[in-house]
Amino acid sequence: MMAMKRSLSQSDARPAKEARGVQEPPASVVPCVVDLSSHAAGGIGHGGLAEENNQLRALVSSVSQNFVCPITLELMVDPVIDAGGITYERSAKEQPEGLISNSLALKTIEAMVESGVLDAGMSDAWRARKKGLDLKKAQALFDTGDVLEAAKLGLPEAQGKMAESYFFGSDGVEKDLQQYFEWATKAAEGGDRNGQFRLGYAYNNGQGTAQDCVAALKWYKLAAEQGCGASMTNIGIIYFDGKGEVEQDHKAAFTWFLKAAEAGIKNAQYHVGQCCYYGGNGAAKNLTEARKWLQKAADQGHDEAKFKFGNMLMRGEGGAVEMAKGLAMVEAAAAQNNADAKEALKKTGSFFKRAKL
């Protein structure tokens, strides 16, 4: 077992084995490693256990001082032993060469923190520093392509990627909607935009969990606040249809469609175009606006928008008649297997008649 010592002062020139401080972890450390929680579980409301718990807290508080870095004066999250046998916080050492991880110290510290008998302020501060260290390690792993290990260490972006992989059954994993939901939840709760969108999608469609459109809206909106256009579009669809426990609200739907359309989402541009074309669906009828938004969606390859926009061109709706361009749009939609466009091209005569050409 490696020795545990307090650091020497700058002026202390005695040999390391005679250094001030603890040379070996005291015997009282052992129950910290084994199971402190069994002592704390009784609570202070069980007669004689109150005194026992107070004694335990005092003992753990005393023992914890042996695991405070002599440089940072904080409970260590990454304890290492230097050449002199003294344990420090790794980040506190200017020259990290030759340092050895002190796994016994780390396990003991973790046991004390998880026992619940250590001072709450000290425990919370340790958890915050530990999380920061884990995220730093996770980012390094993620940057080198080790997404799974980064996700396990709590990196929200990596967790969002794992959710995506399990949804599509890609990147070496099989499709698993339960895993998809679990990783999406972790990523979303960590603030990852992709994770929030994925969790909203899971609730919206009942994938990996029960359908809950109210919860879907919650997570979609959080993702939308971070600029997720797909979330904006899906919020609009939920409001437009009045899905699950969410009441139909065409005005709210159009507002969200327009936000997404302005963000460049082709499906939203199509929906805005449709709302403006027909009117009464949260927007006033405006053929000029309809033509503008359907063209934007068509330019991005939206097949239904190509068909609708082509019709408007040939009819001169919302602008000048452009027969050749309109017919080309319909043909392009048909080439993408759009059923309406294919049917229209089969009936060229009646199609031109309906187009008033």
Q: How many domains is the chain partitioned into structurally?
A: 2
- Please spell the DSSP secondary structure of 197-242, one letter per residue: HHHHHHHHHTSSS---HHHHHHHHHHHHHTT-HHHHHHHHHHHHHT
Residue 145 lies in a domain: no
Residue 226 lies in a domain: no
Using DSSP's 3-state secondary structure scheme, residue 190 falls into coil
SS in 3 state form for 268-315? HHHHHHHHHHHCCCCCCCCHHHHHHHHHHHHHCCCHHHHHHHHHHHHH
Residue 306 lies in a domain: yes
Residue 153 to residues 78, 117, 149, 167, Cα–Cα distance (Å): 15, 25, 6, 21
Residue type, 311: N
Domain boundary among 122, 143, 163: 122
Domain boundary among 74, 105, 122: 122
CATH number of the domain where residue 36 is located = 3.30.40.10
Residue 58 lies in a domain: yes
81: which strand partners? 87, 100
Digits of tens for pLDDT over the chain (357 positions)? 333 333 333 333 333 333 333 333 333 333 334 344 444 444 445 556 667 777 767 777 777 888 899 889 999 888 999 888 889 888 888 777 788 988 888 998 888 888 887 888 888 998 888 888 888 899 999 999 999 999 999 999 999 999 999 999 999 999 999 999 999 999 999 999 999 999 999 999 999 999 999 999 999 999 999 999 999 999 999 999 999 999 999 999 999 999 999 999 999 999 999 999 999 889 999 999 999 999 999 999 999 999 999 999 999 999 999 999 999 999 999 999 999 999 999 876 555 545 444
CATH number of the domain where residue 294 is located = 1.25.40.10
Residue 216 lies in a domain: no
Residue 127 lies in a domain: no
Domain boundary among 67, 101, 122: 122
Residue 183 lies in a domain: no
How far is it, in rounded angstroms, from Cα 288 to Cα 284?
11
Residue 272 lies in a domain: yes
Half-sphere exposure of 267 (CA within 13 A, CB side): 10
The parent domain of residue 102 ranges over 16-122
Q: Which of 91, 130, 87 is nearest to 110 (CA)?
A: 130
What pTM value is reported for the model? 0.70
Phi and psi at residue 247, in whole multiples of 5°?
-75, 150
